[in-house]
Amino acid sequence: MTLKEPTNKLKFALFAFGFLVFFILVYFKLAYAEFVSWDDSEYILENKDVHDFNINQLFTKFYVGNFHPITMLNYAIDWKIFDKNPMGYHVENIIWHLINSILVYFVMIALFKDELLSLFVTIVFAFHPIQIETIAWIAERKNLISTFFILLSFISYLKFIHENKIIQLCLSILFFCFSLLCKPSFVIFPLILLLVDWHFFKNRSKHLVLQKIPFILASLIISIITLKAQQDSGYFNTQHAFPIYQKIAYSGFAIGEYLYHFFMPNSLSVIYPYPQHKVMSMILGYITLIILMFVIYKSHQLNKSLLFFGLLFFVINLLLVLQFIPFGEVLTADRYMYVAMIGLSILVFSMIKKITKQFYIIIILLTLVLGGLSNSRLKIWQNSITLYQDILLKNPHSYIALNSIGAEYMKRKDYLLSEKYYRKSINENANYYKSYYNRALLYSITNQTNKAIADYTRAIKLNNYYKAYVGRANIYYSLKDFSKTISDAEKAISLNKNYSKANFVLANCYDDLNKLDQALFFYNKAIINNSEDGSFFLRRAVVFGKKQQFVDCLNDLEKCTQLEPNDAEAYFWKGVAKVNLKKSPCADFKKALDLGFTEAKNPYQKYCN
Model confidence pLDDT, tens digit, residues 166-183: 999 999 999 999 999 999
Distance from C-alpha of 300 to C-alpha of 198, rounded to nearest angstrom: 12
Other Cβ atoms closer than 10 A to 38: 19
Average pLDDT of the chain to the nearest whole number: 91
Q: What is the largest CA-CA distance in the chain?
A: 98
Per-residue pLDDT band for 358 (boundaries 50, 70, 90) equals: confident
Per-residue model confidence (pLDDT) at position 96:
98
Domain check: are 336 and 401 in the same one?
Answer: no
Distance from C-alpha of 5 to C-alpha of 350, rounded to nearest angstrom: 22
499 found inside a domain: no
Number of domains the chain is built from:
3
Computed over its alpha carbons, how large is the radius of gyration of the chain?
A: 28
CA 311 vs CA 52, 307, 342, 535: distances in Å: 45, 6, 10, 56
- Whether residue 592 has pLDDT greater than 90: yes
- Which of the listed residues 463, 484, 513 is the one where a domain comes to its end? 463
172 found inside a domain: no
435 found inside a domain: yes
- DSSP labels, 436-501: HHHHHHHHHHTT-HHHHHHHHHHHHHHH--HHHHHHHHHHHHHTT-HHHHHHHHHHHHHH-TT-HH
Per-residue model confidence (pLDDT) at position 1:
40
- Which of the listed residues 417, 444, 463 is the one where a domain comes to its end? 463
- Whether residue 91 has pLDDT greater than 90: yes
Per-residue model confidence (pLDDT) at position 203:
65
90 found inside a domain: no
Per-residue model confidence (pLDDT) at position 206:
62
- Whether residue 526 has pLDDT greater than 70: yes
Per-residue model confidence (pLDDT) at position 237:
59
CA 437 vs CA 405, 419, 423, 454, 473: distances in Å: 14, 12, 12, 10, 13
Domain check: are 450 and 537 in the same one?
Answer: no
CA 467 to chain centroid:
20
Per-residue model confidence (pLDDT) at position 310:
92
Per-residue pLDDT band for 230 (boundaries 50, 70, 90) equals: confident
473 found inside a domain: no
Helix-, strand-, coil-residue percentages of the chain, each rounded to 5: 80, 0, 20
Domain check: are 329 and 268 in the same one?
Answer: yes
Distance from C-alpha of 384 to C-alpha of 73, rounded to nearest angstrom: 25
Q: Please give the torsion angle defined by the CA atoms of residues 16, 19, 21 and 23, in that order, rounded to the nearest 10 degrees.
A: -140
- Whether residue 414 has pLDDT greater than 70: yes
DSSP label of 236 = B
CATH of residue 423's domain is 1.25.40.10
- Provide CB contacts within 8 A for 131, sequence distance 6+: 97, 125, 334, 337, 338, 341, 374
Domain check: are 257 and 327 in the same one?
Answer: yes
Domain check: are 270 and 348 in the same one?
Answer: yes
Per-residue model confidence (pLDDT) at position 356:
66
104 found inside a domain: no
Domain check: are 309 and 250 in the same one?
Answer: yes
* Nearest in space to 288 (alpha carbons), one of 263, 255, 260, 313: 255
108 found inside a domain: no
- Quick: pLDDT tens for 24-40: 999 999 999 999 988 89
Q: What are phi and psi of 47, to 5 degrees?
A: -100, 105
Give the pTM: 0.86
DSSP label of 241 = -
Other Cβ atoms closer than 10 A to 144: 25
- Quick: pLDDT tens for 438-494: 999 999 999 999 999 999 999 999 999 999 999 999 999 999 999 999 999 999 999
The range of the structural domain enclosing residue 597 comes to 533-609
Per-residue pLDDT band for 327 (boundaries 50, 70, 90) equals: low
Domain check: are 457 and 551 in the same one?
Answer: no
* Nearest in space to 571 (alpha carbons), one of 551, 545, 597: 597
- Quick: pLDDT tens for 42-83: 999 989 899 989 999 999 988 888 899 999 999 999 999 999
Distance from C-alpha of 605 to C-alpha of 609, rounded to nearest angstrom: 5
Whether 413 and 435 have beta carbons less than 8 Å apart is answered as no
Per-residue pLDDT band for 238 (boundaries 50, 70, 90) equals: low
* Nearest in space to 455 (alpha carbons), one of 433, 474, 470: 433
- Which of the listed residues 409, 442, 463 is the one where a domain comes to its end? 463
409 found inside a domain: yes
Domain check: are 246 and 349 in the same one?
Answer: yes
